[in-house]
């Protein structure tokens, strides 16, 4: 994956974790924009960085102004994935969150924590990085 650092600073451990996990979840075949510590907006296709940032900001704005509906999943790597509206996702480290090896669903407290990360990222709307598949 090609990572373009938009933040102008070293990426944090949480940001790098999100990049690593979403690259894995999409088999390195989808572009996404990292917003805040661990929220991402997944792109439907390839476009310029400017359009990707514009789409991401619009998605986060829409997320802030709609019902905070979400779905949660325990992924095969035992991390918690949260899917919100408008192509917005978040991932929580399952070990740090206390997911057990037998959990089949994300406990509501962990899901709500991840949802709050998405809403916080939407409010701040700090574009951190753009991640793209290598052609």
- Which residue blocks in 4-103 are alpha helix, DSSP H? 13-25, 49-64, 94-97
Q: What is the pLDDT along the chain (135 residues), one digit of tens a residue?
A: 899 999 999 999 999 999 999 999 999 999 999 998 888 999 987 789 999 999 999 998 887 776 668 888 999 999 999 998 888 999 889 988 888 888 888 888 888 888 888 889 989 989 999 999 887
Q: Tokens 């598949």 belong to which residue? A: 133
d(Cα 133, Cα 54) in Å, to the nearest integer?
A: 19
Which of 76, 70, 40, 73 minimizes the C-alpha distance to 55? 40
pTM above 0.85, yes or no: no
Where are any strands of DSSP class E within the chain?
2-5, 32-35, 39-42, 70-74, 80-84, 88-92, 127-132
Domain ranges of the chain: 2-132
What pLDDT is attached to residue 135? 74
What pLDDT is attached to residue 68? 67
In a 10 Å sphere around its CB, with 0-12 CB exposed, 13-18 middle and 19+ buried, how is residue 113 labelled?
middle
């Amino acid at each position: 994956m090609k990572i373009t650092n938009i933040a102008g600073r070293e990426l944090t451990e949480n940001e790098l974790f999100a990049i690593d996990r979403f690259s894995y979840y999409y088999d390195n075949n989808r572009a996404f924009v990292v917003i805040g510590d661990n929220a991402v907006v997944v792109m439907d296709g390839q476009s310029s960085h400017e359009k990707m940032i514009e789409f991401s900001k619009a998605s986060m704005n829409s997320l802030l102004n709609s019902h905070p509906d979400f779905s949660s999943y325990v992924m095969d790597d035992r991390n918690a994935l949260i899917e919100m509206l408008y192509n917005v996702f978040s991932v929580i480290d399952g070990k740090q969150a206390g997911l057990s090896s037998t959990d089949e669903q994300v406990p509501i407290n962990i899901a709500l924590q991840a949802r709050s990360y998405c809403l916080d990222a939407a409010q701040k709307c700090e574009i951190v990085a753009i991640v793209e598949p290598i052609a």
